[in-house]
């Protein structure tokens, strides 16, 4: 057919829960062919790989060969966090478009290397915050972007989870090598949403504090699993991110944004921009929430990876989770960790300074 676009070939590196989600999503996106998978333990993971990827996928146990011989146009990096930076850099330098699980790196030095490699290669990149590409989070971000609650002067995002021995990723999440900190580990989700609510504008300063549960269930964490970070922007705007990996409660991802024309709290909102709304009542978004999903699966990634393949075909940067926005968020995150380590406020330099 004259308007038919060429097939995009995708490959998935690292085979845990996230990789299975990427693989399952790619297989359901028109115009995408899943061609390869990489694992450090291919024999151990073979059954899971074939179940997620299908019987025809090529399986590699060497990352350089995986990059060079898979024939992939897109690499999904879903390995352990401390390996992300080097693998993103290698893929970008090989001319591959990259979808990288969060965090995209584990320290400020790695962030600069990743940012430089992606920009110099001219490839498309996205950080895999799939929850900001559908449902109530997307609706809230879009409301802010369209000015429906005016200028946001206060935003608070809280990520509460209980990642103990009963959770699959606990073995690595609790370690300094792989988990690193509460924010690097999982709080980066909340940090990314704060960044988006503030339009990507860099704050001037952060003060961050850490704590840990007295429960013996979380005693083996090699870092304090709870962290609260408070940011100050020029012009008087403020924001807060809370991240707790040692919460004994149902998983909760809570958001509020207060603006000059209204507010958003989770999937509720109020605005003066719509006639007829009563100030004393909340309006509710007719959208999926993060709590609607009982399990994490490929369905949560389809909208996200469909958007990424569209950005590759158009040459236009991925909305919301591009390299630029991910870079800004990670700058904020590492400044917050530096503040928590020192016990003092940390100034955040403007981009390019």
Q: pLDDT tens, 224-254?
A: 999 999 999 999 999 999 999 999 999 999 9
Q: What is the pLDDT of residue 293?
A: 62
d(CA 256, CA 24): 32
Regarding whether 110 and 178 lie in a shared domain, the answer is no
Q: pLDDT tens, 273-300?
A: 999 999 899 999 999 887 776 567 899 9
CA atoms within 13 A on the CB side of 65: 9
Regarding whether 116 and 82 lie in a shared domain, the answer is yes
The answer to whether residue 312 sits within a structural domain is no
Regarding whether 51 and 23 lie in a shared domain, the answer is yes
The answer to whether residue 111 sits within a structural domain is yes
State the angle between helix axes of 188-197 and 323-342 in degrees (0 to 180), rounded to the nearest 10: 120
pTM of the model as a whole: 0.96
For the four alpha carbons of 199, 228, 259 and 277, in that order, the dihedral sign comes to positive
What is the percentage of the chain residues whose pLDDT exceeds 90? 92
Q: pLDDT tens, 252-279?
A: 999 999 999 999 999 999 999 999 999 8
Q: Which of 82, 76, 35 is nearest to 59 (CA)?
A: 35
The answer to whether residue 45 sits within a structural domain is yes
SS3 22: helix
Whether 1 shows a pLDDT value over 50: the answer reads no
Q: What is the pLDDT of residue 294?
A: 57
Regarding whether 96 and 178 lie in a shared domain, the answer is no
Rounded mean pLDDT of the chain?
95
Regarding whether 262 and 148 lie in a shared domain, the answer is yes
Q: How many domains is the chain partitioned into structurally? A: 2
Q: pLDDT tens, 145-178?
A: 999 999 999 999 999 999 999 998 999 999 999 9
CATH number, domain with residue 69: 3.40.50.720
Regarding whether 222 and 169 lie in a shared domain, the answer is yes
* Mean of pLDDT values over 310-330: 98
For 303, other C-beta atoms within 10 Å of its C-beta total: 17
d(CA 287, CA 140): 10
For 86, other C-beta atoms within 10 Å of its C-beta total: 17
Domain that includes residue 288, residue range: 132-293+323-347
The answer to whether residue 141 sits within a structural domain is yes
């Amino acid at each position: 057919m004259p308007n038919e676009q060429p097939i995009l070939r995708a490959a998935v590196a690292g085979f845990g829960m996230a990789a299975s989600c990427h693989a399952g999503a790619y297989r359901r996106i028109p115009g995408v062919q899943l061609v390869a998978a990489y694992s450090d333990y291919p024999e151990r993971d073979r059954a899971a790989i074939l179940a997620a990827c299908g019987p025809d996928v090529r399986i590699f146990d060497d990352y350089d060969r995986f990059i060079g011989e898979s024939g992939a146009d897109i690499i999904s990096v879903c390995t352990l966090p401390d390996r992300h930076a080097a693998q993103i850099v290698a893929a970008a330098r090989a001319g591959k478009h990259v979808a990288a699980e969060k965090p995209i790196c584990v320290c400020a030095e790695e962030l600069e290397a990743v940012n430089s490699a992606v920009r110099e290669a001219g490839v498309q990149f996205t950080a895999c915050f799939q929850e900001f590409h559908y449902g109530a989070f997307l609706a809230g971000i879009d409301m802010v972007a369209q000015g429906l609650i005016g200028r946001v002067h206060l935003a608070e995002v809280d990520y509460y989870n209980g990642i103990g021995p009963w959770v699959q990723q606990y073995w690595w999440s609790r370690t300094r090598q792989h988990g690193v900190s509460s924010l690097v580990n999982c709080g980066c989700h909340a940090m990314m949403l704060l960044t988006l609510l503030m339009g990507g504008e860099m704050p001037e300063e952060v003060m961050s504090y850490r704590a840990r549960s007295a429960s013996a269930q979380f005693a083996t964490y090699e870092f304090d699993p709870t962290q609260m970070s408070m940011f100050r922007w020029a012009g008087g705007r403020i924001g807060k991110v809370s991240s707790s990996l040692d919460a004994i409660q149902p998983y909760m991802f809570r958001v509020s944004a207060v603006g000059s024309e209204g507010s958003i709290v989770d999937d509720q909102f109020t605005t003066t921009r719509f006639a007829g709304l009563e100030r004393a009542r909340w309006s509710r978004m007719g959208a999926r929430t993060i709590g609607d999903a009982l399990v994490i699966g490929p369905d949560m990634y389809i909208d996200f990876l469909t958007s990424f393949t569209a950005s590759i075909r158009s040459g236009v940067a991925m909305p919301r989770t591009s390299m630029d926005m991910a870079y800004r968020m990670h700058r904020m995150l590492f400044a917050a960790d530096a503040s928590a380590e020192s016990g003092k406020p940390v100034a955040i330099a403007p981009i390019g300074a």
